[in-house]
Amino acid sequence: MFNRDYFKGWYFKCSTKEKTIAFIPAFHRHNHKETVSLQIITNDETYNILFDSLKYEDKPLCIKLGSCIFSEKGIELNVKNDNISIKGKLVFKQITPIKYNIMGPFKFVPFMQCRHSVYSMFHQIDGEIIINKQKFNFKNDIGYIEGDCGYSFPKQYIWTQCNFKNGSLMLSVADIPLWGIHFTGIIGIIMLNGKEHRFATYLGAKLKHIGDNTVTVKQGDYQITAKLIKKNAKPLYAPVKGAMKRTIYESASCKAYYCFSYKDKTLSRFTSEMASFEFEYI
């Protein structure tokens, strides 16, 4: 697919009021060797399934691994081997894209370690997935889709995503190496009551605080704080120079606190038991 170390992956999060399951189809290239995988993370387990090949289109988004399909219209799964059996179908409706590429002008900067995409901040999910006889039923439930590509995940970063009443949010803060220097890169979207609020380095966002499982970002008179209260971390593989040899820890469904404000006015403040969080920051 590519002549250099490279990875490209997508993240399909599907949540009910009690359970979360996320699917991560990806391909990876390291030392001219290509591999393809599907990682799955739930409240309780993680799975890593290898495939022979992956085909994809970005517009409209559609990824095919064996007889599995992931797209903006939904997910079809049919996997069976000695360790795992997965079968089912989910239908997506009312996909909610963001106004423009989350990377902004950084979309055109060469040699970026990792580039991020957001395909849908939230959408409706209906259907059923069965994993090793465990059923995941969805009826008028909520989903989220994003993606990453490049050659490595940042050495240090936080990422969080949460659907909430009247909206959805995603925030990422990372140490970015570029052209021999390092800087703190920030991207985030808060969809609240149908309006998109964007935080980004290219819009003047600054890191105000990070540590103790808490991050605060300020942009002009707007501010967002995200705090991981109770983790539910499970191991996932992440790329290093295209090879899936790093272990990160994601809480696909955990307890977290968020506060979004403008000047002295709180626009949204809540605690969720269904947040997703990765706090890979020392």
CA distance 181 to 264: 35
Sign of CA dihedral 203, 206, 210, 214: negative
Tens-place pLDDT, residues 148-166: 999 999 999 999 999 998 8
| Res 27: pLDDT | 96
Q: What DSSP line would sit under 48-78, residue for residue?
A: EEEES--EEEETTEEEEETTEEEETTEEEEE
Q: What is the pLDDT of residue 3?
A: 55
Task: Kindly give, in sequence order, each residue whose CB lies less than 8 Å from that of residue 233, ignoring residues fewer than 6 positions away.
Answer: 249, 250, 251, 254
Q: Is residue 1 predicted with pLDDT exceeding 80?
A: no
Q: Average pLDDT of 203-216?
A: 97
Give 15-59 pLDDT, tens digit per residue: 999 999 999 999 999 998 999 999 999 999 999 999 999 999 998
Question: Has residue 4 got a pLDDT over 90?
Answer: no
77-109, pLDDT tens digit by residue?
A: 999 988 899 999 999 999 999 999 999 999 999
Q: Considering the chain, what is the average pLDDT of its residues?
A: 95
Mean pLDDT of 228-239: 97
Give the list of residues 6+ apart from residue 181 with CB closer than 8 angstroms, or none.
none
Q: Which of 160, 27, 145, 169 is nearest to 75 (CA)?
A: 145
> CA–CA separation, 14 vs 120, rounded Å?
12
In what helix (H) or strand (E) does residue 9 lie, and over which residues does it extend? strand 6-15
Give 106's DSSP letter.
G
pLDDT of residue 2: 47
pLDDT on residue 255 = 98
Residue 213 has pLDDT above 50, yes or no: yes
Q: Is 100 helix (H, G, I), strand (E, B) or coil?
A: coil
Asked if 270 and 258 touch (Cβ cutoff 8 Å), the reply is: yes
pLDDT digits (tens, 9 = 90+) for 60-69: 999 999 999 9
